[in-house]
Amino acid sequence: MEGEKLRDFFHSIFPDIDLAGSHIDTHGWDSRVIFLQNGRVVKLPLVSSPLKLAREYCILKSIKPLLGTLIPDRISFVLKEYRDETYGILSYDAIRGITIGDVGPISRDMEISIRAQMERILPAIHHHMPPCLVRCGIPSIGGQEWRDFYKRFLQNLKVQVFPVLNNVLSDYLETQIMTFVENDENFDFVPRLIHGDIDPRNLLWDPHLFRISGIIDWGDSMIGDPAFDYASMLFNERIGMQLIRSQTELSGCCPERRIEFYHRMVPVYWIIYGLRNKMDKLVREGIKELEIRKGFRIPPY
């Protein structure tokens, strides 16, 4: 659903809202975001399932008192009918700033600022565990369930992904996942709320105040291994490494081994999504990045 089709969809469910001066962000995998001229942001799903955006709404409302201005104001969620199907629509006030991905090269001073803020933000997120999260349908996966998830993940990869990989990469992925699931120490963690997709697209930066101004796109949040979020912060290796070395919250033995594993697996999700949506370029980029991350290690400290 792109361009004019998306505008037609929007007009059919919000006929009184003028789209003049608005612009559409098409980078999302599961949704499209319309920035209205009045300062509102409207998030539209690409498929007629209201569940994911309903969960995101629940998390935003829950975590707003904790993170304050990092979370948008006036968060709203409505169900709308379109062509006999039900869509969940999420909206909120835009946060001032640009995504870190759009900033360009990250300066050393900016790295220091991001790291200092995320040292406080990540533990705050991970220790936010109100009962409403489970009631809202936020997935909760810990211990044996986390192990079982990766066992199923491997079986799915053999069917969906291995056919487009060479034998070396297929064997590498199978070895990585089997080594991970066979080590009991990898599942000795306390399940916590995790954002699940902290990367340059989902962190907003205010260049005037020189700080992170917002954290967006909570649709992949779950209750699981908090090491996952530290792996996501390795989008910038210097920031990620400093965070990993300074953190004191991760439980279990050798959390850096878990972080390494999660970091290496990220390109696999690109390949899966690319195959599912016939996006050959994304598949190629995922395979290339998978090769690059094969040798990734967190040095001893």
- pLDDT tens for 81-96 read 888 888 889 999 999 9
What are the backbone dihedrals phi and psi of residue 42, each rounded to the nearest 5 degrees, phi first? -120, 125
Looking at the 3D structure of the chain, how many domains does it have?
2
Residue 149 confidence class, pLDDT cut points 50, 70, 90: very high
In a domain, 177, yes or no: yes
Q: Check: CB of residue 210 under 8 Å from CB of residue 146.
A: no
Last residue of a domain, one of 29, 60, 93: 93
Do 147 and 48 sit in the same domain of this protein?
Answer: no
Q: Which two tokens stand for residue 274?
A: 């690319």
Residue 293 confidence class, pLDDT cut points 50, 70, 90: very high
Do 123 and 220 sit in the same domain of this protein?
Answer: yes
Residue with token string 């993940």: 153
In a domain, 301, yes or no: no
Q: Please report how the helices 167-181 and 255-276 are oriented relative to each other, as an axis angle in degrees rounded to 10.
A: 130
Model pLDDT, residue 25: 79
Number of alpha carbons in the 13 Å side-chain half-sphere of residue 58: 23
Last residue of a domain, one of 49, 70, 93: 93
Model pLDDT, residue 301: 67
Do 124 and 50 sit in the same domain of this protein?
Answer: no
Mean pLDDT within 251-256: 83
Model pLDDT, residue 15: 78
Domain that holds residue 35: 3-93
Model pLDDT, residue 4: 64
Alpha carbons 25 and 8: distance in angstroms, whole number: 16
CATH of the domain at 107: 3.90.1200.10
Whether residue 146 is predicted with pLDDT greater than 80 in this model: the reply is yes
Do 155 and 190 sit in the same domain of this protein?
Answer: yes
Whether residue 271 is predicted with pLDDT greater than 60 in this model: the reply is yes
Last residue of a domain, one of 63, 93, 123: 93
pTM for this prediction: 0.92
Residue 2 confidence class, pLDDT cut points 50, 70, 90: low
Whether residue 120 is predicted with pLDDT greater than 70 in this model: the reply is yes
Mean pLDDT within 44-48: 77
Do 13 and 61 sit in the same domain of this protein?
Answer: yes
